[in-house]
Amino acid sequence: MIPRTASVVIALITPITLVTLGVLLLGGSTATIFGIPLILLFMFIMFPVTSLLMWISWRLFDKHADYQLDEFEDAAAEVAP
Amino acid sequence: MTIVMFVIVLLLAVGIGLYSRVGAGKSTADFLVGGRSFGSVVVFIMVVGEVYSIGTIIGFPGGVYAHGVGFAVWFMGYILLGYPIGYFLLPLLWKAGRQYNAMTLPDIFRGHFKSRPLELTAALIGVVFLIPWAQLQLTGLEVALNGLGLGLTPLVTVLIGVGISLVFVLLSGIRAPAFVSFLKDFALIAVILVVAGFVLNKVPNVATIITHANVGSEHTTIPGGAPMLNTISTLLFQTIGFYMFPFVIQAVLSGKSPVSIRYTQIVMPLYMLMYPFILLTSFFAISAAPGLTGADTNLAFIEVARQLLPDWLVGLVAGGAALCAIVVLAASALVIGTLFSRNVLTNISEARQKPMTQVVIFVYLAISIVLTLVVPTIMGTLINTAYYGLTQLIVPVLLMIFPTRVRPGAMAAGLAVGALTSIGIYLSGATLGGLNIGVPALAANLLVVGIGRLVSPAAEPTQSLAARRRRIPADSGAPAGWTHHTARKESAS
């Protein structure tokens, strides 16, 4: 169940980065589109975009991932502290 | 007519709750995690049912009324970003649940780290920080029933809600909230769309509603400095803690495969498309019901409903809103009972777990009732308070995935320090320049874990939940008892 790096970048890192940057950049803006503040419009767009990103990762990488319930034979090395 | 519609909604819910007993097994696993038999649709409905509580219908408009768009952004943002985390994390937690025959997160910790102190600390954090969550539901319930205009006292209103929740839990365990969630999820969307529809009927122009919301004070931007820091830090902090909620984990463990759980995560953000409609009502409330302050801002949504809707529809809206609180209250009560009987009190036989669970549920609800009546609080604050503690659980969860030589005792100490730090800062009233209180608490948690690793490392790194097996059964033949879940198999079933 170790995910591919590309899958993590697409489905996890991309939406988190987009939302964080979007809030920081658009939060103070008084601009509106059809009367709706830009920051809210951005958040609404991110709903389907986040779904889409996860779906892309699913189709490309995770659909055929190994979901085995498994026993481990080797002790893993510690991650770098 | 108002009360008739209200009673119809609740009777329908009780009927479904009772119906959920049909075909249910009698084992503890059946009572707590539905025999681990729920497919994608039921898990989706349950997670949605428990994530979008009365905090969304009543608390969200109140928060936007009081704090403007900064509140809306962190509220929507942490739920949204919680799903990508769930996409990767939940299959692992599900797998651990199967591996250790777990029904709670502390069960998983006990199985993985073989540590009683860690199990106990995690369970106590779950129990303590779910109290504000029940308070959130009861506060919302009070507001919803208030909307009926019957002049019921707060005590009577919360007792009605608690009574129905108890009926659900005591009769059917997790099956009742799961089944009633179907009705509740529909009711939530219906309530939001109906009220937004009446708002648009009154003021057909969205731009006008938003412009009026800015009269007096700015509600549509997030000013730099403390408000922005608060929005961003709360958004990211609560994103991390989103799937640490004990009842959501219980819903995940009740899924029948990791594939079904992943499906639900992909679809979840689309359910959030209801938020534009509830924001509309929230902005409308600022000009339509001016002058609400403090805990009274919780009334924003129901005030709009009362102003615009015919009486019978107000009854329906109040019933739908009350249902949202009752379902989540039932699920919270159930998980509290589970945590207490399985992870706090030890040496209890499987046969005694169920009655013990029911006793603990009574006590939990009683404490929540007292707090709701004695300390009225803004609902957004109650949400934050629950997250301060529950997010701390992410540290041992990550240490199950990334192997380290941290001793479980250090993790338990980190959890305790993190939770106590958040409580200390909260009670001191410090504002930290807008920074979410949970952030320094999480830093303290990590510091303790880091010191523990340096001063007294474990002999061997822990095993990772994510690690691959050495042999693939397709190549070498799987031993009996191994279960292989694939997307193809799931979609075919």
Contacts of A12 in chain B (CB under 8 A): 84-85, 87-88
Nearest residue in A to B279, CA atom: A40
- CB-defined contacts A:B, below 8 A: 185
Tally of domains within chain B: 1
Q: How far is B365 from chain A (nearest CA, A)?
A: 35
Distances (CA, A) of A40 to B74, B171, B199, B222, B327: 11, 43, 19, 11, 29
**Residue A64: closest CA among B98, B485, B467, B265:** B485
Contacts of B468 in chain A (CB under 8 A): 1-2, 66, 70
State pLDDT tens for residues B82-120.
999 999 999 999 888 888 888 899 999 999 999 999 999
Contacts of A42 in chain B (CB under 8 A): none
Which member of B267, B460, B485 has the closest CB to residue A51?
Answer: B267
Interchain contact, B461 vs A76, CB within 8 Å:
yes
In a domain, B413, yes or no: no
In a domain, B207, yes or no: yes
Which member of B205, B262, B467 has the closest CB to residue A2?
Answer: B467
Interchain contact, B466 vs A40, CB within 8 Å:
no
Mean pLDDT value of segment A50-65 = 91
State pLDDT tens for residues B439-481.
999 999 999 999 999 999 988 888 888 775 544 444 444 444 4
In a domain, B77, yes or no: yes
Nearest residue in A to B405, CA atom: A78
pLDDT in the model for residue B435: 95
The SS3 assignment for A37 reads: strand
Q: CB-side exposure of B107: number of CA atoms within 13 Å?
A: 25
Q: Are B130 and B318 in contact (CB under 8 A)?
A: no
**CATH number for the domain harbouring residue B30:** 1.20.1730.10
| Residues with Cβ within 8 Å of residue A61, at least 6 apart in sequence | A3, A4, A6, A7
pLDDT in the model for residue B29: 57
Contacts of B72 in chain A (CB under 8 A): 40, 43
Contacts of A75 in chain B (CB under 8 A): 460-461, 463
Residue A60 CB neighbour total at 10 angstroms: 13
Interchain contact, B228 vs A24, CB within 8 Å:
yes
In a domain, B256, yes or no: yes
State pLDDT tens for residues B359-383.
888 888 899 899 888 887 788 888 9
Q: Distance (Å, rounded) from C-alpha B168 to C-alpha B334?
A: 10
pLDDT in the model for residue B476: 43
pLDDT in the model for residue B488: 45
Interchain contact, B482 vs A24, CB within 8 Å:
no
Q: Are B181 and B50 in contact (CB under 8 A)?
A: yes
Mean pLDDT value of segment B224-248 = 93
In a domain, B221, yes or no: yes
Q: Distance (Å, rounded) from C-alpha A67 to C-alpha B468?
A: 10
Contacts of B467 in chain A (CB under 8 A): 2, 72, 74, 76
In a domain, B482, yes or no: no
Which member of A2, A11, A69 has the closest CB to residue B98?
Answer: A69
Residue B137 CA, distance from chain mean position? 11
Residue A75 CA, distance from chain mean position? 30
Q: ipTM score here?
A: 0.89
Interchain contact, A23 vs B485, CB within 8 Å:
no
Q: Are A2 and B95 in contact (CB under 8 A)?
A: no
Residue with more model confidence, B51 or B177: B51
Q: Distance (Å, rounded) from C-alpha B364 to C-alpha B99?
A: 30
Interchain contact, B84 vs A53, CB within 8 Å:
yes
Contacts of B464 in chain A (CB under 8 A): 76
Q: Distance (Å, rounded) from C-alpha B406 to C-alpha A69?
A: 25
Interchain contact, A57 vs B87, CB within 8 Å:
yes
Q: Are B50 and B328 in contact (CB under 8 A)?
A: yes
Interchain contact, A67 vs B91, CB within 8 Å:
yes
Which member of B76, B262, B465 has the closest CB to residue A62?
Answer: B262
Domain hosting residue B350, numbered range: 2-379
